[in-house]
Amino acid sequence: MNRLVVRLVISHLLVAVVAALATFLVVRQLAPALFDASLRVGQGGGLGQGSGAQGTAGGAGMVLRQQFGDAVDRALAVGAVVGALAAALVGALAAYRLIRPLDALRAATRAMAQGTYAVPLPTPRTTELAELTDDVKLLGQQLGETETQRVRLLGEVAHEMRTPLTVIDGTVEAMIDGILPLEPDQLAVVSDEVRRLRRLSDDLSALSRTDEGRLSLVLADVDLREVVSRAAGRLRAQAEDAGLDFEIDCGDANVPVRVDAERIGQVVTNLVGNAVRATPEGGRVRVRCGPSESAGRHGAASAVIIVEDTGEGLAGAGLTRIFERFYRVPGRRAPEHETGSGIGLTIARGIVAAHGGQLTATSAGPGQGATFTVTLPLARPGESHDRSDVTGLASAEVHNPGGRR
């Protein structure tokens, strides 16, 4: 039985016992005194004035019984009043001990509803109320973090929109004024910024669907090597232009997986794009895939995708927060116009989780590069080879080919 229920039952019993005890003590002390007073009054007025001894004895007995009953009745009446007052006092003390922390919790929740999340709360002595207080404190902390993220997201969105809109506005205005010629190069600048705005819109839409916990997958049996090679190959030119040694190594053995190839390709694009942007000229980015040497999440055979770079690396705090929404790695070397909103890895991890896999990050420290590992279950022999649409619960939705750390 819940300990709080036990304590409430005990408190009720205690109130009843106190009331009964107070009543008993009052009656015990008051009844004899009232009876003695009645006797004295009776003796003064003459007990049992009747004709003869028998009549006198009978009348005296009736008078005594009446006087005794009256004394007990009056004593019980007084005792009941005293017992009720004692019970009320004990009940009030017990209720105060219970209501006081509840009043504090109610005040805290009202403050949270008005936007004040850091509300100090004393810890009650009752275990259950202490646990409830801890839950309210945790709720306030999480609400505060959510509000901070919301405000930061609004700032990030405003910043991300401001830069391309400024470029578009300036370029178009310059062309209207005749300062810039209406040439393909100038139109290409406008087109690039429009694509950037579209990518931002896609990221925000994906984040919204992430909060709903829905992810629609179109599963098919594919060779993971083809998915990884195709997705990573799209960024080869970008890596080579940045002066990087870019390598894709997926071996010769077939790696059968049942995945949504487009979404896994977007995860690879996200991870490789991050690695390219985080690695200085002369560095190396290596993409590998193949069967895993260890079992997957549920002990089944698994495949891995590994993206390694020799870039900026991650400190301890960065490793623990890299997959948080809106988190950006401090001191990024990427130019300002390439800095994202910090939701790409959150979305990527959700995609992998929806496939029953894991996405993890490791780094030896700042300047030592980073390694991102995707683990996916291998396709089981005998599974259907037909394509299928699956709608499942996941922690992220995706459309973020240009996602960033």
pLDDT, one tens digit per residue, over 132-146 is 888 888 888 888 888
For residue 188, give its domain range.
Answer: 124-212
Residue 64 shares a structural domain with residue 94: yes
Is there a domain that residue 257 lies in?
yes
Burial bucket for residue 43 (CB in 10 Å: 0-12, 13-18, 19+): exposed
Residue 40 shares a structural domain with residue 179: no
CATH of residue 129: 1.10.287.130
Domain end point (choices 116, 134, 161):
116
Residue 195 shares a structural domain with residue 273: no
Residue 235 shares a structural domain with residue 323: yes
Q: How many CB atoms lie within 10 A of CB 315?
A: 15
Residue 208 shares a structural domain with residue 349: no
The tokens 């090597």 sit on which residue?
225
Alpha-carbon distance 115 to 296, whole Å?
Answer: 43
Pair of tokens at residue 121 = 């709360």
Q: How many CB atoms lie within 10 A of CB 386?
A: 8
Highest mean pLDDT, choosing among 77-81, 325-329, 351-355, 383-387: 351-355
CA–centroid distance for 285 within its chain:
35
- Average pLDDT score, the chain: 77
Pair of tokens at residue 298 = 């549920």
DSSP β-bridge partners for residue 309: 285, 370
pLDDT, one tens digit per residue, over 168-204 is 888 888 888 888 888 888 888 888 888 878 877 877 7
Which carries the bigger pLDDT value, residue 48 or residue 161?
161
Phi/psi for 254 (5° steps) reads -65, 140
Pair of tokens at residue 82 = 């005293």
Predicted pLDDT of residue 393: 42
Is there a domain that residue 399 lies in?
no
Is there a domain that residue 402 lies in?
no
pLDDT band for position 336 (cuts 50, 70, 90): very low
Is there a domain that residue 260 lies in?
yes
Alpha-carbon distance 340 to 304, whole Å?
Answer: 26
pLDDT, one tens digit per residue, over 199-246 is 778 777 766 665 565 667 789 999 999 999 999 999 999 999 999 999
Residue 95 shares a structural domain with residue 194: no
Q: How many CB atoms lie within 10 A of CB 76?
A: 16
Residue 310 shares a structural domain with residue 258: yes
pLDDT band for position 297 (cuts 50, 70, 90): low
Residue 102 shares a structural domain with residue 139: no
Domain end point (choices 85, 116, 147):
116
pLDDT, one tens digit per residue, over 368-385 is 899 999 999 998 766 554
CA–centroid distance for 151 within its chain:
18
Predicted pLDDT of residue 280: 93
Residue 349 shares a structural domain with residue 257: yes
Residue 74 shares a structural domain with residue 144: no
CA–centroid distance for 2 within its chain:
26
